Structure 1
Amino acid sequence: MRPRTRTVLTLLNGTTGTGLLLAFLTGARIRRGRDGLLIAEGYRLRMPPASCFTVGSVILTRRTADWLLAEERAALLAHESRHASQYAVLGPLFWPAYWFACGWSYSLTRSFGVRNFFERHAGLRDGGYPEELPLRPWVTRLKRR
């Protein structure tokens, strides 16, 4: 998806506004990123445990924007950018769909990301997730039947 289209859609569907509100409420400082993305550095809450996460076109991180924009984290930035595109398409429906996908993945593998459609589409390796984990024993038994 083109960055300008993504930016406009996430503004119109309210998810970027939600990301900015979350940044404000947690004391994060907003900086411009690449391709219309905003980076909220200094996010202070412990949840979620990831180093960064995206809401609309806002990437929230406990670290600095410079840390995220460094060349060695280009894959992570691309991963988060793909999540912003998912927000552009789904708008607020992203949240229940994403959490359902997390539950599905966790129920199968004990990982919120490995079998999560949204994380797979954003690039598991780029997001720091393992690309494959064994299925839980009950799933394996069910597949054999």
Structure 2
Amino acid sequence: MGEGMSGWQAVKLVVNTLNLSTLAGVLVGLVGRARFSRGPRGLFYATGYKLRFPVAGAFTIGNLILTKHDRAYFDQQPILVKHEERHSWQYFCLIGLPMLPLYLLAAAWSWLRTGDPASRNLFERLASLKDGNYTERPVQPFGRTLAQTFRRR
């Protein structure tokens, strides 16, 4: 086991490697021309990510946390790293890549209910909205969400 990694974190590292979710993250990082490094507790970082999607300070695929920022971004935000680590456990629990379409469905549901992809997203709520730097928005009628969307365009 690596330094600072528990037995369960080592199991998660192995399972997220075998279920191909971490490999998928590496492929996304390569396409986004990111730089890779080892993080804490069996996690890896992909920094300097160049693509504009998804729009997030950081996002996780398997045991890999990707960001457009440099490595210091993670060093300065240990709570955000814990939030992203919780997402890595979600990949573990959902046997890898099924997490991606389920996450997208949860984000769509949240957007329909609140106009925000995180506020009612089960995965973001389980990872802690606050730790992920999200502001919880109240549930609103579908019509208001649609009106807000079209008003922005």
1:74: Cα distance to partner?
1.1
Does the Cα contact within 8 Å between 1:3 and 1:35 map onto a contact in 2? yes
Where in structure 2 are the equivalents of 1:1-145 lying within 5 Å? 2-70=8-76, 73-90=77-94, 91-131=96-136, 133-138=137-142
Please list every run of at least 4 consecutive aligned residues from structure 1 whose deviation after the TM superposition is greater than 2 angstroms: none
C-alpha RMSD of the superposition? 1.5
Does the Cα contact within 8 Å between 1:114 and 1:120 map onto a contact in 2? yes
Percent identical among aligned pairs is 39
CA distance in 1, matches of 2:141, 2:101: 27
- Of residues 33-42 and 19-28 in structure 1, the stretch that sits farther from structure 2 once superposed is 19-28
1:82: Cα distance to partner?
0.3
1:134: Cα distance to partner?
2.1
Does the Cα contact within 8 Å between 1:33 and 1:69 map onto a contact in 2? no
CA distance in 1, matches of 2:73, 2:140: 36
1:138: Cα distance to partner?
4.7
Q: Give unpaired runs (5+ residues) of structure 1.
A: 140-145
Q: For residue 45 of structure 2, give the secondary structure of its aligned residue in structure 1.
A: strand
CA distance in 1, matches of 2:54, 2:126: 20
Higher fraction of helix: 1
CA distance in 1, matches of 2:103, 2:142: 23
Aligned positions, number: 136
Q: Give unpaired runs (5+ residues) of structure 2.
A: 1-5, 144-153
CA distance in 2, matches of 1:65, 1:87: 23
